[in-house]
Amino acid sequence: MLIKKLLFFAGLSVIASQTVLAQETPSPAGAPPAAPGTPQWSSRDMTYKGKGYDVLDSSYYPKKRQKQFRQYMDHQSVFPPKPRNQWEAGVGVGLYNVTGDVPTLMLWQKGGGGVHVHVRKAWGYVFSTRLQYIYGVAKNLDVQPTQAFDAPYTTLGYVPSYNATPTKPTTDVYRSTRMESSQLNLDLIFNIHNISFHNARNCMSFYGYVGLGGLAYKTRVNALDANYEAYKFNTLTTTKASNSTTRKDLQTKMDKTYESVADNANASTILDKKTLDFAPSIGAGVQFKLNKQWNISIEDRYTMPADDYLDGTKFGGNVGNMVAVSQSSDGINYFSLGLNYNIKTGKKSVEPLYWINPLDHAYSELSYPRHMLLPNPVLPDEDNDGVTDQFDKCPKTPADVKAVDGHGCPMDTDGDGVPDYKDKQLITPTECQPVDADGVGHCPCPESCGDISGKKKACTHIVDGYITFANSAAISVKLQEQLSTLAGQMKMDPDCKVVLMGGGAGGKKQEQQAWERVNAVIEYMTEKQNISRDRFIFQYDKGDNVNMVMFRSAEKDETGPSAPPPPHPNLK
């Protein structure tokens, strides 16, 4: 009846654990709707809110793993550190039986039982250790009379058939023993059921273990009745009776005193003369998760002490006219049902790692990347000229040189090979080149480069020219290089203005398009090159090429608007 109750309770626990886990797995927030069971995500920062934990939260890691966490966050390591995880504490009850030479009595046969407590710590996703204490009482009872017995029956005057004649004992012997024990085990537990490739988490955990421990036990025999006389079972009819009928009849005739100490060849004792034995064990079990803190377990442990006297005897039953002598040690089987709790502490921690799927973070990064989203790169620019070192053909540009071209080299307005900041003749005509080290040509300086007195004429640095757009008013990379040259020239003549002319003579549409291109040039020069807007004069040319913007230096005292309104803003 008890086994049926245990199985019924285990079934209810599985159903409850599946229901609770379903509640722990809401749908995503801030992401497209997904099927039930999809992990939940925050729309603000995509923090994982489902069955796992936030790997990017540093408070989950102890101080000794903070270095690895920083390396992971800086993309110097591909593995996040192991989080701090909780201890498990548990209690339980179960069936405690000795498997030996005398048949065991199960709990529903008025046999013994056991209770246990334990603490468990996970050291990884597979291995954990557990310290468990078990208090158990096991009862054994012969259902057939035996000629194989030892103390205390021999001290009571019984004569075993293998020691003397006549061959039968003076009365039938039915051995009845009770073994009480305390067992302390240190177990190494292994499980891999938490590693799942297709689910965030399993609601069950299968595990096996090996254990080392100590067993302190005392076995007593129920050999005397209430009057302290040996039981007389000659009137017990067992010829045609079943074992269960015989067992019930024997239990009716026997009291429950277990007054005599059983025989024991082991002289090592402890605490109330309990025999002390080394007790290795093996076992397996399954846990059912109720929620993140509670779970139940069903487990079976088999203990193998090197002792043949757990049931009080080394002899088996009768085999024909022979007496069976045990050739192996007795064992202990403990089948238990436990209730376990994951202990919370003041520091932030996750569930025991044997409940965590180590693939959870990897799969979540594949679907909703957070750590894999790299920050905007900061490219090195040693000379601070605005061109990154990777593309800078002149990486050692002096700090006081602000005007460079698209390759990071100082501006060379006249193209004579001497940069402007070293060029003593800024505008050297082509026919006067090549030049010397100071950028001075080999022909007389034309009127455009200076006057006889050696003073520079106004706006001599600004060279007339034009730029051609594509089919839009966007400033392409090529146009940026041209405008950078013009900006350098204007900085050389800070008191000069530039006239920008757009071809808008073909009608309203052309006039609007011409305005858009000239305005794009002025905005680029003011925003990117830091040229004041009032240094430009906005004009329309008589030409009809709306994609061309011509520029020239303004005449002395020449004026005009720099920001005229669009002529036809509503024109499509």
Q: Poorest-confidence range of 47-51, 151-155, 471-475, 549-553? A: 47-51
Residue 454: pLDDT band with limits 50, 70, 90: very low
pLDDT number for residue 410: 86
Reduce the DSSP state of residue 312 to 3 states and report it.
coil
Q: Distance (Å, rounded) from C-alpha 229 to C-alpha 224? A: 5
Domain boundaries, the chain: 2-83+360-367, 87-355, 458-572
More confident residue, 65 or 197: 65
* CA count, 13 A, side-chain hemisphere, 113: 12
Q: What is the mean pLDDT of residues 288-315?
A: 91
pLDDT number for residue 170: 57
Alpha-carbon torsion (144, 148, 154, 157), positive or negative: positive
Q: Distance (Å, rounded) from C-alpha 180 to C-alpha 275? A: 10
Q: Distance (Å, rounded) from C-alpha 170 to C-alpha 158? A: 7
Q: Do 385 and 396 form a contact (C-beta atoms < 8 A)?
A: no
Q: What is the mean pLDDT of residues 36-47?
A: 41
Reduce the DSSP state of residue 46 to 3 states and report it.
coil
Q: Which two tokens stand for residue 195?
A: 């590693």
- pLDDT, tens only, 480-506: 888 988 888 888 888 899 999 887 777
Q: What is the mean pLDDT of residues 39-57?
A: 56
pLDDT number for residue 250: 87
Q: Poorest-confidence range of 167-176, 288-297, 369-378, 456-465? A: 167-176
Q: Is the pLDDT of residue 302 over 90?
A: yes
Q: Which CATH number fits domain 87-355: 3.60.20.10, 3.20.20.70, 2.40.160.20, 3.30.2270.10?
A: 2.40.160.20
Q: Is the pLDDT of residue 300 over 90?
A: yes
Q: What is the mean pLDDT of residues 246-268?
A: 81
pLDDT number for residue 266: 66
**For the chain, what is the mean pLDDT?**
80
Q: How many CB atoms lie within 10 A of CB 236?
A: 16
Q: Is the pLDDT of residue 133 over 90?
A: yes
Exposed/middle/buried for residue 470 (C-beta within 10 Å: 0-12, 13-18, 19+)? exposed
pLDDT number for residue 251: 85
- Residue whose structure tokens are 């992401």: 31
More confident residue, 478 or 279: 279
* pTM exceeds cut of 0.75: no
Q: Is the pLDDT of residue 396 over 70?
A: yes
Q: Distance (Å, rounded) from C-alpha 244 to C-alpha 143? A: 8
Q: Distance (Å, rounded) from C-alpha 535 to C-alpha 529? A: 13
Third-level CATH fold of 458-572:
60s Ribosomal Protein L30; Chain: A; (3.30.1330)
pLDDT number for residue 166: 41
Residue 237: pLDDT band with limits 50, 70, 90: low
